Structure 1
Amino acid sequence: MADGRLADPSPASRRGYPQEDEFGDEESAPRLRLSRRGILVLSVLVAAVLGGLAWLVFYSSVLDVRDVAVQGTTDEKLTSDQVREAVGGLAGGPLARVDLAEVEHRVEAIPRVAKVEVWRGWPHTLQVKVVQRTAVAAVKGDDGQFTQVDADGVSFATEAAPPAGVPVVELRLSQQAKDVDGVISRAQLVQGAVAVAAGLPPEIAKRAGSVLVHSYDDIELQLSGGATVRWGSPEKNDRKARVLQALMAQKGTNFDVTAPEAPAVSG
């Protein structure tokens, strides 16, 4: 120290400088670097793994469809076997390759099916959930057969007898209605009567044995027990239904809701 300069700290004294030691360690730590050949090999391995998985899922028999599970069939009119038959060969092969939209299309083609939902139940099940149509009326035809119609006005089945608890729509047209057949068709009259039946409260619908159509403005309900309801036209159905529900609490055999603002009870 004679020349006035400080001597370099010894290795032992440098131990008091932790930051310098850390920097030295970082500089001396080896770094992993892949060569171009290594990157190429790794890419090939990743591609091979992904390709194997794709083949396993989409092309091999490991994840084939083994079952079509059907939900929503509530009676013998629409069975699970009928739904499976509609799906047919679409349920064959790998589950991942099943065309769900086409399965929905085929099942929706069944007249008694209102809605359908299809999804994959991994690893081996195709899930199909259906909503059946429910008849709100049965339209009596000239041949004596009864066509069932749902709340949307869709005809989906024709049988020799109407379903239990469903009003029967029958055309008993007056001469005046026949004279204007070209203005208001029979199909429109039936449509109006079905709308009336669809709007009835459940407790009244069960009692409504018949919905008789005399003309567009003259629809009549025949209830169990002999009571009748003059409904009028298929307009203001919701209001007429509420008024009729209130009127039914009174004694009578004849109920008139043709003008729901001024209903009447007699008999």
Structure 2
Amino acid sequence: MAGRTTTAERGAGGPRRPGRDAGPPPAARRPRPGRPDDRRRRRLVLALALGPALVLGGFALWVLYGSSWLRVESVTVVGERVLTERQVLRVAAVPVGDPLVSVDPEAVERRLLAALPRIDTVEVARDWPHGIEVRVVERRPVVVMEKDTHDREGRGYVEVDDDGVRFGTVAERPRGVPLLVVDLSDSPSRHRFGEERMRREAVKVASALPDGVRRDTRTVRVRSYDSITLELSGGRTVVWGSSERSTAKAESLTLLTKAADGAKRFDVSVPSAPAASGS
């Protein structure tokens, strides 16, 4: 009949009945906010978990900084030879009685190196539960130089190590350490290289000497870059030349002194062709 809708038309385009609409899919629905009881429960669990950690952390801080259990009671010095324990302790200035953890080993090392040039290397370490250990290695002289005659402290010797560092003074010349004499008065090397460079060249030679030769060496004399000589005990002389190839020259000198026993003059300036003369 005209003007009436069919059942099919109502099903296709007609209004839906209330309550029949399925709504958005489950994934698109917003979650319900948690209940107050759930939030309180979560906070309680978190507090129970963090509480022991905070207590333990606070106790650890008290043990390290506040208690008397881990405090500095002794400072030990190891390795000193010329320096005295009292000198090292005074410069180290480790506060006895302070918490051990508060001592800065690197700061102590810097103080020692800055104030005591005789120290070559130093290591400071905590020795739990109550100690600090200071381990020093002192520089060793390979040559000595006479002090400046104008030095107000009087006569003596300046010690020089194998790096050319002048690190200390002594009243008496150490046994087995040669005297370094730099005489560049008539040499062009004075202006070309300077006395300091010539001292370093001589130190290279002294550092390369075998122990037996070093003990017998009385003087290392420098007249120019290419004229370094050794004055040994018994009036013997070694013409060394420059500091170049010092290791090879030292080996040649060792063999030459054994082969030419009784010789007075040795020339190793050309190490592949050493020579000995005199008797």
TM over 0.5: yes
| Aligned counterpart, 2:59 | 52
CA contact (8 A) 1:136 1:194 kept: yes
Instruction: Give the counterpart letter for 2:106 in structure 1.
Output: A
Task: State percent identity of aligned pairs.
Answer: 38
Task: Tell me the amino acid that sits aligned with residue 227 of structure 2.
Answer: D
Residue 212 of structure 1 is matched in structure 2 by 221
Does residue 147 of structure 2 align to residue 134 of structure 1?
no
- Name segments (4+ residues, structure 1) moved above 4 Å: 89-92
SS of 2:180's equivalent in the other structure is: strand
Structure 2 residue 85 is matched with structure 1 residue 84: no
Amino acid at match of 2:112: V
Determine if contact 1:117/1:128 at 8 Å carries over to the other structure: yes
The answer to whether the 8 A contact 2:220-2:229 is kept is yes
Judge conservation of contact 2:119–2:137 (CA < 8 Å) in 1. yes
* Structure 1 residue runs without a partner (length 5+): 1-33
Correspondence 1:107-146 to 2 at 5 A:
107-109=112-114, 110-143=116-149, 145-146=156-157
Task: Give the AA of the match of 1:170.
Answer: V
Q: Between Structure 1 and Structure 2, whose CA radius of gyration is higher?
A: 2
Shift of 1:92: 5.0
Q: Do 2:201 and 2:243's aligned partners in 1 also have CA atoms closer than 8 Å?
A: yes
TM-score with structure 1 setting the length? 0.80
User: Contact 1:219–1:233 at 8 Å: present in 2 too?
Assistant: yes
1:248-259, aligned counterparts within 5 Å?
248-249=257-258, 250-251=260-261, 252-259=263-270
2 CA distance for matches of 1:189 and 1:125? 46
2:75, 2:132 within 8 Å by CA — same for their partners in 1? Answer: yes
In 2, the alpha carbon distance for the partners of 1:180 and 1:46 equals: 72
- Can you list the C-alpha shifts for 1:92-151, whole angstroms capped at 9, x where unaligned? 511111111101111222111100111111000011111111011102244254210111
Unaligned runs of 5+ in 2: 1-40, 150-154
Looking at structure 2, the residues matched to 142 and 37 of structure 1 have their Cα atoms a distance apart, in angstroms, of 80
Q: How many residues align?
A: 230
Deviations 1:192-241 (A, max 9, x none): 11111111011110000110112211111011121110111111111100
User: What secondary structure is seen at the aligned counterpart in 2 of 1:44?
Assistant: helix
